[in-house]
Structure formats: structure tokens, C-alpha cells
Amino acid sequence: MKVIEHLHKADKPLISFELIPPKRGGDIKGLLSVIDDISKYDPPFIDITSHAAEVFYEETPQGIQRRVKRKRPGTLGICSLIQNKYNIDAVPHVLCLGFTREETEDLLIELQYLDIENVLAIRGDDSGYRKRLDHGRTMNEYAVELVQQIADMNSGKYLEEGLLDAEPSGFCVGVSGYPEKHFEAPNLKSDIQFMKTKIEAGADYVVTQMFFDNKVFLNFAEEVASAEVTAPVIPGLKILTNKNHLKSIPRNFHVNIPEGLADEVAAAKPEHVMEIGVNWAAGQVEELLNKGVPAVHFYIMQNSKPVKMLMDKLNL
């Protein structure tokens, strides 16, 4: 079922999750254990992140060598596993940066053959690697171009012109939103306009970047409504589980952590931080649901323990 259909048909609040593939050469057993844990909470869908190739420099007997490799492959296989073993709709992330439009089309065709009908279209992080565009190949620079490519396929329009009996795809397309604005955007209003262009290009729903202050999201939702954006907006949340998050989350995701939460985590013993994070997230969920939010999306990566603590506390 498509994400947008889950939202329209829901008769109770929906809780979805986002996972990250294991590192190259890693064991999938740990990820399967996480999926086993979260599947008990009947998530309507599970997102799986995607990762482009990155540039690494390694010291070899011949000197320092430049290497290009994908650190976390496996998105397609994991999505197939989730959809066919667990009967939960999978949402693979599809990236602009690091992939040609031709590679993207091939991926979308494979997803279509697997009956995976949801994707999250994002630009992706700049890993420092720029793929060479040989033999006339092209690349989507921005997410709106990626959304347009998927929308074209949904209309039966492929990159190769003149295909006979081209089968239209039927993807439900999600895109990202930023309650505290994207770090490259000059202001929130202009960032919402960028988001609106993605919806006008064919996106069906929005999932936000994580936030820890509900006032930020509620203000964002008001601004989105004022911009006449009618697509559903799903708030994205993350549970703080260790003190390092106080530095790594603002640095990597460009979001603020409220003083009250940051002070409590900083003063706590390490073994108490997860409980503080769970209590804070529970308060966020309860307030958001009381405000009428139809769904909440959790970024859990590969750790289900805080989610289990949270779900027990919420008792949804």
C-alpha cells in the first residue's frame, strides 16, 4: 500500500520508522533483530536510507591511494526483505548526488518489479565524490528534478525516447521538509517554497528532519499551510540516547536541542541519558498527537531499545 493511502485510511495514529543498512561487510542479523522488534508495533511503513559512493584515502605500500566505494550498500535488498518477509511497506531512499539519472531509472524499474511502490526522493549529502558523466549520461542536481523524473515514469515517460508500450510506474513519492529550514536556505519561507516546488512536481507527502522542540514544528506547519501546501506533513523525531548526541546531532543535521533537554542530558550519568531522551520524545509524541498530527516518523538507525521503551510508555 502507498504511504498516502496509509495516511488516508488510518483510524489511529501511525508510527513509522527509519533504518540504516549495515556497513559494507557487516552482518544483517543485527538489523533483522531490530526489524523483529519494531514490527510488533505494526508500523505502516519502514524507510531504509541509501548511501552514495564516498571518497576515501588509504595508505598503501605504493603511497596514499584514493578509493571510491559505497560504505553502506544494501538498500534494495533490505527493502525487498521488509516487504516480502515482514509484509510491511518499504520506503527506499532514492538520491540525486552520486547516481546518474540512468542508474536511478534502473533502480526504479527494479523496485517496480519487486512491487515496492513508495520512495523518498532526496538530494543526499555531498560526499565529495562526483561521478563522471560519460556517454551522454546525466544527473539530477536537486530533489525537485528527481521528483520530476519519477513523475515522468509514473506517466510512462522514460529517459529513452520512443519506447513502445512503456509501462507507467505507480510510485508514491515522499520528500523532505525542514522545520528549522535547510542549512543552505536563506530563510524558512524560501525553504518552504522549495519544498512546495517538489510537491508541484509530483511529490505526495513530506517527512520532516528531526526536531526536539514541538513549537518549531507547529510554527513550520502553520507556515506550510499559509503557503497553500496541501500534502500531508509527517513529523520526524529522534530519541537522544547518549551525551555525544548533544554535539553530533547539531553538527550533522543542523538542528537545535532545547536548553532544558541539553542541560538535563549534560548533568545526567551516562546510563540515565536514554531514559531522559525517551521521556522527552514521549512528551513530544503526546503533544503532537493531541494537536492532530496523523503520524510520527522515528529515526532509529539500528537501535530498537529506546523505541521499545518509548512505545511501552506511550501505550498506543
pLDDT value at position 66? 62
Q: Most confidently modeled of 133-147, 148-162, 170-184?
A: 170-184
Query: Which of these, 88, 6, 103, lies nearest to 50 by C-alpha position?
Result: 103
Q: Name the 3-class secondary structure at 188.
A: helix
pLDDT value at position 129? 64
Q: Could you tell me which residues are beta bridge partners of residue 89?
A: 45
The x, y and z cell numbers of residue 128, run together, are 565529495
Q: What pTM was computed for the model?
A: 0.93
**Secondary structure E strands in the chain:** 14-19, 45-48, 53-60, 63-70, 89-95, 118-122, 172-177, 205-210, 233-237, 295-301
Whether the predicted pLDDT of 252 surpasses 80: yes
How many CA atoms lie within 13 Å of 232's alpha carbon, on the beta-carbon side?
A: 22
Q: How far apart are CA 216 and CA 209, in angstroms?
A: 11
25 falls in which pLDDT band (50, 70, 90)?
A: confident
72 falls in which pLDDT band (50, 70, 90)?
A: confident
Q: Rounded mean pLDDT of 115-142?
A: 85
Q: Rounded mean pLDDT of 187-206?
A: 98
For residue 117, CA distances in Å to 3, 65, 83 come to 9, 40, 10
The enclosing domain of 262 has a CATH number of 3.20.20.220
Q: Percent of the chain having pLDDT more than 90? A: 83
Whether the predicted pLDDT of 105 surpasses 70: yes
Are 105 and 171 a contacting pair, CB within 8 Å?
A: no
- Domain count for the chain: 1
Report CA torsion sign: 194, 252, 243, 16: positive
Supply the range of the domain harboring residue 310. 3-314
